[in-house]
């Protein structure tokens, strides 16, 4: 994959009109994230619009429920032809196993490509102090992320969503074809906003990230096209 194919830009807007205007304004972006706000606002119609434009889709709904419900949701998502789908690893092995099996069955029965199903290890907005004092998890974020990632791999899922700061540690214990999707990535020239555990895009790719989710540094820039290209150029230089 080229660097530009590894950057996923979020459509964090409330309407289909705003989302498609953003997509059409950045034709060089091939991979877009549809999250909770947009999906709940528009329903699956936005996925069909993106596919009609030959875009790849990261459906980031972070599903977290009982096994039967997770299975049904993943089967439905597979029918939409999305490329990556997110679950919460903390739903547990039974739910992750049921989700994967349902997606595989649906893909076979409908002759639809199986999406890459990845599990969220720990939200990048949660820092070490919050993990310990609010969630009462007696592990450091990196150790907790590794535990969730290894469970995800054991189940057979294709990767995890993790903080870029955890990528190096995860890569030491996980195979190279196990995808690491990293939100919370910020160039040095952009604000960190509400992300607590960040690296630059170049640093994240050098550490072993597979995909980077980069939103506001691009979409909130006065010149989104130039911002996207600047990030691609910086990453390409760092990896060469």
Tens digit of each residue's pLDDT (9 = 90 or more) over 40-58 = 999 999 999 999 999 999 9
Mean pLDDT on 59-87:
97
- In the prediction, which pLDDT does 139 show? 87
- In the prediction, which pLDDT does 191 show? 64
- In the prediction, which pLDDT does 193 show? 54
Q: Which residues pair with 31 in a beta bridge?
A: 56
Question: pTM to 2 decimals?
Answer: 0.93
- Domain positions in the chain are 3-239
Mean pLDDT on 171-180:
96
Residue 146 CA to residue 164 CA, distance in Å, equals: 13
- In the prediction, which pLDDT does 195 show? 47
pLDDT tens across 182-220, in order? 998 889 887 655 544 578 999 999 999 999 999 999 999
**Residues catalogued as catalytic:** 62
Proportion of the chain above pLDDT 90, given as a percent: 84
Pick the CATH number of 3-239 from 2.40.30.10, 3.40.50.11310, 2.60.40.10, 3.20.20.70: 3.20.20.70
Residue 127 — very low, low, confident or very high, per pLDDT cuts 50/70/90? confident
Region for residue 115 given its phi and psi (left: phi exceeds 0; alpha: psi -120 to 50; beta: otherwise)? beta
Sign of CA dihedral 22, 23, 27, 30: positive
Mean pLDDT on 126-142:
90
Residue 167 CA to residue 163 CA, distance in Å, equals: 7
Mean pLDDT of the chain: 94
């Amino acid at each position: 994959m080229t660097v530009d194919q590894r950057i996923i830009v979020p459509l964090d807007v409330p309407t289909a009109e705003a989302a498609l205007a953003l997509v059409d304004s950045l034709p060089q972006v091939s991979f877009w994230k549809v999250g909770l706000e947009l999906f709940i606002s528009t329903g699956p119609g936005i996925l069909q619009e993106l596919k009609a434009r030959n875009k790849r889709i990261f459906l980031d709904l972070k599903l977290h429920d009982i096994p039967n419900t997770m299975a049904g949701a993943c089967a439905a998502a597979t029918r939409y032809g999305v490329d990556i789908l997110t679950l919460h690893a903390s739903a547990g092995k039974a739910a992750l196993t049921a989700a994967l099996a349902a997606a595989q069955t649906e893909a076979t029965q409908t002759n639809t490509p199986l999406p890459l199903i990845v599990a969220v290890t720990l939200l990048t907005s949660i820092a070490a102090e919050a993990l310990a004092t609010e969630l009462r998890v007696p592990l450091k974020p990196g150790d907790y992320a590794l535990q969730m990632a290894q469970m995800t791999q054991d189940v057979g899922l294709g990767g995890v969503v993790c903080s870029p700061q955890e990528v190096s540690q995860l890569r030491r214990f996980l195979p190279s074809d196990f995808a690491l999707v990293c939100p919370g990535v910020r160039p040095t020239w952009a604000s960190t906003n509400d992300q607590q555990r960040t690296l630059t895009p170049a640093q994240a790719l050098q550490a072993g990230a597979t995909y980077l989710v980069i939103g506001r540094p691009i979409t909130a820039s006065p010149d989104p096209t130039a911002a996207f290209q600047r990030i691609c150029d910086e990453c390409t230089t760092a990896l060469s």
